[in-house]
């Protein structure tokens, strides 16, 4: 056995042991914790095959819940329940039981998979200063920072329980003073959602007239003009609640479809889960009970090296059954096994999916193994995670509204130049 073969064999045996352990005993853990290889925002394997959705809101939450239940009434895989209370809010968390109730929600059984959050109606008020005495006035930079920290705390509690968070922004209100507070809340929550991996859904354009001002009337989902807001300029009618829920429905249905597509990915769930959601699936184990990786690399059925050497091995065994020939056959089988693994890793693209293997002989029978992974969606996501979201260019420009420094001589470059001033004189 060469040094390369020995190192590769150890690598493959370790991978097979890990995969077998995950398939045998870790399936439940994979189903309840985020899968780093999955691009799905929502877990692909909800318990009992039903997504548990909870609406967390203030006194507008019940109407949003009714709209969502109407939207998903034909979908038996989604169960939506109201977890709202009329006094919920983030500006007075020390006076209400919001975070205590969230702790109970995250430990409920069956576990909650999706949380739809809409808060802020009760929050147009000053907040307690975190470091100094006194109160922070609504809309100030300090108030937005404090409000964003409370939203961040809520999002982190939900995300720690592997709950997909959809935060619905508040729409425009009839009162201009309340509108200013709503704009400050949406800005603070939007940034907290982006930084902590939640999805912020903007609803400001759905309940306005052509000039962008508040309007109690507007088109419903059928296109007919109906009353969407209550007389207080804050609440929603039944048609308005259904239109509000449609903003969540569009995003949620897309993520649910992506999650269901992820069920076919190997090791996204254990063998029992895969067999339940995809009948006949053999992603976790092969029909013979061996690991799918081992089966693919050790028993090729496409006419590859394994299939070609099998008749020769059988012929040698039938020809001579002496102890010496048996030992020689075992050595040859081991060598053939190593060759199959090497050929599967280097020649067959389906043998190794992690990238290109590079070996270096260090001497004394030691071999260094390096993997060069192709640039793909997963590797790019890992690279992006290394850069804080607040430092990324698109976040600075599109979320915070920072201006990019102009290039020299471009139309937006208004730098005063001494040479041009001298030429004018």
Residue 260 vs residue 3, higher pLDDT: 260
Cis status, amide bond into 110, omega within 30 of 0: yes
- Residue 302 is predicted with a pLDDT of 44
For residue 233, the tally of other CB atoms under 10 A from its CB is 14
Give the mean pLDDT of 78-103: 91
Q: What is the CA radius of gyration of the chain?
A: 30
Residue 6 vs residue 175, higher pLDDT: 175
- Residue 333 is predicted with a pLDDT of 53
- What six digits make up the tokens of 343? 């050929």
- What six digits make up the tokens of 117? 């959050």
CB 138 within 8 A of CB 125: yes
Give the mean pLDDT of 355-368: 69
Min mean pLDDT across 161-175, 190-204, 224-238, 387-401 is at 387-401
CB 37 within 8 A of CB 401: no
Torsion, Cα of 216, 219, 220, 221 (10° steps):
-150
User: Considering only CA atoms, which of 44, 110, 113 is closest in space to residue 278?
Assistant: 44
Confidence of residue 18 (pLDDT cuts 50, 70, 90): very low
Q: What is the mean pLDDT of the chain?
A: 75
- What six digits make up the tokens of 292? 């799918």
CB 182 within 8 A of CB 172: yes
Find residue 358's DSSP bridge partners: 370
Residue 294 vs residue 414, higher pLDDT: 414
CA angle 18, 19, 23 (to 5 degrees): 120
- What six digits make up the tokens of 366? 């030691």
- What six digits make up the tokens of 164? 């997909």
Residue 155 vs residue 382, higher pLDDT: 155
Q: Please check the confidence at residue 399 and state whether its pLDDT lies above 60.
A: yes
pLDDT digits (tens, 9 = 90+) for 240-259: 999 999 999 999 999 999 99
Sign of the Cα pseudo-torsion (39, 45, 49, 51, in order): negative
Phi and psi (nearest 5°) for 6? Answer: -65, -45
Confidence of residue 281 (pLDDT cuts 50, 70, 90): very low
- Residue 415 is predicted with a pLDDT of 78
Give the mean pLDDT of 94-106: 89
Confidence of residue 205 (pLDDT cuts 50, 70, 90): confident
pLDDT digits (tens, 9 = 90+) for 213-232: 999 999 999 999 999 999 99
pLDDT digits (tens, 9 = 90+) for 35-80: 555 678 999 889 888 999 999 999 999 999 999 999 999 999 999 9
How far is Cα 229 from Cα 219, in angstroms, rounded to an integer? 12
How far is Cα 249 from Cα 52, in angstroms, rounded to an integer? 15
Confidence of residue 88 (pLDDT cuts 50, 70, 90): very high
Which residue's structure tokens are 């090791």?
267
For residue 188, the tally of other CB atoms under 10 A from its CB is 23
pLDDT digits (tens, 9 = 90+) for 141-159: 999 999 999 999 999 999 9
CA-to-CA dists, residue 116 to 110, 198, 201, angstroms? 17, 10, 10
- Residue 5 is predicted with a pLDDT of 53
CB 354 within 8 A of CB 373: yes
How far is Cα 167 from Cα 117, in angstroms, rounded to an integer? 5
């Amino acid at each position: 056995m060469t040094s390369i073969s020995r190192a590769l064999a150890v690598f493959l045996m370790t991978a097979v042991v890990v995969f077998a352990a995950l398939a045998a005993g870790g399936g439940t853990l994979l189903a309840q914790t985020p899968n780093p290889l999955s691009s799905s925002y929502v877990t692909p394997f909800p318990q009992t095959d039903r997504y548990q959705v909870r609406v967390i809101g203030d006194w507008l939450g019940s109407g949003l819940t009714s709209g969502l239940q109407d939207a998903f009434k034909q979908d038996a895989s989604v169960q939506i329940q109201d977890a709202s209370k009329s006094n919920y809010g983030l500006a007075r968390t020390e006076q209400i039981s919001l975070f205590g109730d969230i702790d109970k929600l995250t430990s409920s059984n069956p576990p909650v998979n999706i949380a739809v959050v809409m808060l802020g109606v009760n929050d147009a008020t000053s907040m307690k200063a975190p470091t100094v005495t006194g109160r922070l006035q609504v809309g100030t930079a300090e108030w937005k920072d404090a409000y964003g920290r409370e939203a961040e705390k809520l999002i982190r509690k939900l995300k720690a329980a592997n709950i997909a968070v959809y935060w619905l922004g508040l729409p425009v209100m009839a009162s201009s003073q309340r509108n200013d507070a709503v704009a400050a809340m949406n800005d603070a929550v939007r940034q907290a959602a982006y930084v902590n991996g939640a999805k912020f859904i903007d609803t400001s354009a759905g309940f306005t007239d052509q000039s962008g001002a508040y309007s109690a009337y507007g088109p419903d989902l059928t296109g007919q003009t109906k009353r969407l807001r209550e007389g207080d300029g804050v609440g929603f009618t039944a048609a308005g609640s259904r239109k509000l829920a449609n903003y969540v429905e569009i995003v949620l249905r897309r993520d649910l479809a992506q999650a269901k597509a992820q069920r076919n990915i190997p090791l996204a769930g254990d063998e029992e889960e895969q067999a339940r959601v995809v009948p006949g699936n053999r992603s976790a184990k092969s029909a013979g009970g061996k690991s799918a990786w081992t089966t693919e690399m050790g028993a090729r059925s496409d006419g590859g090296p394994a299939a070609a050497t099998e008749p020769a091995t059988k012929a040698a065994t039938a020809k001579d059954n002496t102890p010496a020939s048996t030992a020689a056959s075992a050595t040859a089988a081991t060598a053939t096994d190593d060759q199959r693994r090497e050929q599967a890793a280097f020649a067959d693209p389906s043998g190794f999916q992690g990238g290109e293997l590079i070996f270096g002989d260090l001497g004394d029978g030691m071999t260094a193994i390096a993997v060069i992974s192709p640039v793909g969606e997963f590797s790019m996501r890992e690279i992006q995670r290394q850069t804080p979201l607040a430092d990324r260019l698109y976040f600075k420009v599109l979320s915070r509204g920072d201006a990019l420094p102009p290039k020299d001589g471009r139309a937006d470059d208004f730098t005063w130049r001494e040479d041009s001033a001298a030429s004018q004189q």
